[in-house]
Amino acid sequence: MANYPHSGRILVAVDCIIFGFDGECLKLLLIKRNFEPELGKWSLMGGFLNEKEDLHAAAVRILFNLTGIHNPYLEQVHTFGQIDRDPVERTISVGYYSLISIHDQDPAALANHNASWIELSQKPSLIFDHDQMVEVALRQLRYKAAMFPIGFELLPNTFTLPQLQKLYEAIYNVSLDRRNFSRKILSTQILESTGEKDAASVTKKGTLYRLNADKYQDYLKGFNSFLPEFAELT
Amino acid sequence: MANYPHSGRILVAVDCIIFGFDGECLKLLLIKRNFEPELGKWSLMGGFLNEKEDLHAAAVRILFNLTGIHNPYLEQVHTFGQIDRDPVERTISVGYYSLISIHDQDPAALANHNASWIELSQKPSLIFDHDQMVEVALRQLRYKAAMFPIGFELLPNTFTLPQLQKLYEAIYNVSLDRRNFSRKILSTQILESTGEKDAASVTKKGTLYRLNADKYQDYLKGFNSFLPEFAELT
DNA sequence: CCTTAATTGTGTATATTTGACACATTAAAA
DNA sequence: TTTTAATGTGTCAAATATACACAATTAAGG
């Protein structure tokens, strides 16, 4: 193993792939750059890691600056390290994806950064390797959402089954059978009825549900038990 | 977004979590350090990213130096960026895990680096955050192996069904029903019989199989179609 | 040479889960 | 009050998973 290097520098950036859901479509929060380099083009929101800053903390900081959200759902996706990915200087970038409820952010902060919600299907080309980052993040979101009900991060606190179904349909770009979807979700017991009905609906008003935090924890533990001896390792 | 930083440096390292399989147990290739820092302690094999080097290429280089293997199965796991994870200097480390057939390496290269195969259940404590890296890599290996037959990377070119079953049992630390396992694996058609029998067996000699590369590709394509519109994004 | 022990190969019955679809209910608007 | 567009609940067949029985192969020991 080599000793610690004496010269040269490689910058470390963090870029955020921010997913939102408006009830119909999966959207991305993108910024139209009003700064160099690549002024005027679309990109993800990003920044450089500070010398005395945790990687995760940097992602939280960047997301907070853009949206005003303090406790985002945030997961590291992948680190992108091609030599010429940033033409200005050698930079590797750690991608984080976030799921946020689309009406939660601070609109002033968004405007400050020239940020907009763009439907995934309408996504413009992004600078550098940001298109690839979105691809990888979407793939990871899909894998993860297939196993864990993280999709709830994209919905308001209470929601109807049809709303939840539309979210899954948007994530996977498929159409699901309403009745089978309902049966499967309710069988997990992670939802509890609020007893109220969705006032916004124009026809029959659906039941509003919320996530039952305890049952949700049980559900996740059930998954861990598929990997029974993970603890034995430590 | 901030401008490119003018001062300070953050080093970028790559560490490799190398899994192997001896027919019974899942093993890790670890090195007993004969260099500073942390001389005499156990660690993963790692190194620093060079200024003009792809991230993935750095992982390949490090693995080649240790094992003499040219085309390893290698996947990025996660990037570890706690401030004090390396006490000498601020360093973030990109973890890659590798699956290699346990008899493929160059023994001289291993000896040079003071490296040994250690059963996962016997793993000593490692330096820095390397224990955590192993945890995360194992979790990722398990997720991935549940969906894709990457386990073959850990076996010789030809193998019997019982050997393959033992591999899965070692990865998940479970016991599986021999007959159901056999039926499930063979139904994928990704294995083809070599027509030969395992000479090493002491009782009934099992049929030797090899991976059918074409069928394996078809099988992977089938998975991609579960994410039907992924292409629409680009 | 014949039995025993250990392991591999193949089959089958049952339970569980999934997928496709029918029908009743609710609410607003015409 | 009829129509329209949703939501809520049920049923049946097909596919899949699970549990377990039994036959075949090989080496070793009497």
From chain A, pick out residues whose CB is under 8 angstroms from the CB of B1: 33, 35, 45-47
Higher pLDDT, B65 or B23: B65
Residue A199: the pLDDT is 76
Residue B74: the pLDDT is 93
Shortest CB distance from A232 goes to which of B1, B76, B121?
B121
Shortest CB distance from B54 goes to which of A47, A81, A174?
A81
Residue B234: the pLDDT is 21
Chain D, protein-covered positions (CB within 7 A): 4-11, 17-21, 24-28
User: Among all strands, which nt has the closest C1' to B203 (CA)?
Assistant: D26
Residues in chain A: 234
Q: How many CB atoms lie within 10 A of CB B7?
A: 6
Per-residue pLDDT band for B139 (boundaries 50, 70, 90) equals confident
Amino acid letter for position A220: L
pLDDT at residue B132 tops 50:
yes
Query: Which parts of chain A have pLDDT scores under 50?
Result: 224-234
Residue A212: the pLDDT is 84
Per-residue pLDDT band for B76 (boundaries 50, 70, 90) equals very high
Q: How many CB atoms lie within 10 A of CB B48?
A: 21
**Nucleotide C9 C1' to residue B158 CA (A):** 18
> Is A89 in contact with A11 (CB distance < 8 Å)?
yes
Residue B108: the pLDDT is 87
- A92-96, B196-200, B224-228: range with lowest mean pLDDT: B224-228
Strand partners for A29:
A117
**CA A77, CA A28: separation in Å to the nearest integer?**
16
In sequence order, what E strands does B66-148 have?
73-80, 91-99, 115-119
Nearest residue: Cα versus C1' of D17: B180
pLDDT in tens, A136-185: 999 888 877 766 667 778 888 888 998 888 888 888 888 889 999 999 88
Residue A223: the pLDDT is 52
Closest CA in chain A for residue B75: A78
> Is A66 in contact with A29 (CB distance < 8 Å)?
yes
Please indicate whether, in this complex, the C-beta atoms of A49 and B88 are within 8 angstroms of each other: no
Residue A231: the pLDDT is 29
Residue B215: the pLDDT is 81
pLDDT in tens, B98-120: 999 887 788 888 888 999 999 99
Please indicate whether, in this complex, the C-beta atoms of B138 and A174 are within 8 angstroms of each other: no
**Rg of chain A (C-alpha set):** 20
Residue B223: the pLDDT is 53
pLDDT in tens, B144-191: 776 667 778 888 888 999 988 888 888 888 888 999 999 988 888 889
User: Among all strands, which nt has the closest C1' to A165 (CA)?
Assistant: D7
Burial of residue A224, with CB atoms counted within 10 A of its CB: 0-12 exposed, 13-18 middle, 19 or more buried: exposed
Per-residue pLDDT band for B204 (boundaries 50, 70, 90) equals confident
Closest to A78 (Cα-Cα) out of A139, A126, A23, A128: A139
> Is A66 in contact with A30 (CB distance < 8 Å)?
no
Residue B226: the pLDDT is 40
**CA A118, CA A140: separation in Å to the nearest integer?**
19
Residue A94: the pLDDT is 98
- A96-100, B17-21, B135-139, B168-172: range with lowest mean pLDDT: B168-172
What ipTM goes with this model? 0.83
**CA A153, CA A100: separation in Å to the nearest integer?**
6
Closest to A18 (Cα-Cα) out of A132, A159, A129, A118: A118
From chain B, pick out residues whose CB is under 8 angstroms from the CB of A56: 81
Burial of residue B116, with CB atoms counted within 10 A of its CB: 0-12 exposed, 13-18 middle, 19 or more buried: middle
Per-residue pLDDT band for B231 (boundaries 50, 70, 90) equals very low
**CA A69, CA A2: separation in Å to the nearest integer?**
42
In Å, how far is B157's CA from the nearest CA of chain A? 28
pLDDT at residue B90 tops 90:
yes
> Is B55 in contact with A90 (CB distance < 8 Å)?
no
- The edge-to-edge listing of strands for the beta sheet with A158-160 is A158-160, A207-211, A191-197
Domains in chain A: ranges and CATH: 11-147 (3.90.79.10), 157-233 (1.10.10.10)
DSSP H helical ranges for chain A? 55-67, 107-112, 130-147, 161-172, 178-187, 213-224
Q: Residue A130: left if φ>0, alpha if ψ -120 to 50, beta else—which one?
A: alpha
pLDDT at residue B224 tops 50:
no
**CA B99, CA B17: separation in Å to the nearest integer?**
9
Shortest CB distance from B230 goes to which of A82, A88, A139?
A139
Residue B168: the pLDDT is 87
User: Among all strands, which nt has the closest C1' to B207 (CA)?
Assistant: C8
Phi–psi pair at A181, nearest 5 degrees: -60, -50
Q: What is the DSSP string of A139-193?
A: HHHHHHHHHS-GGGGGS-SEEEHHHHHHHHHHHHT----HHHHHHHHHHTT-EEE
Helix, strand and coil percent figures for chain A, each rounded to 5: 35, 25, 40
From chain A, pick out residues whose CB is under 8 angstroms from the CB of B58: 81
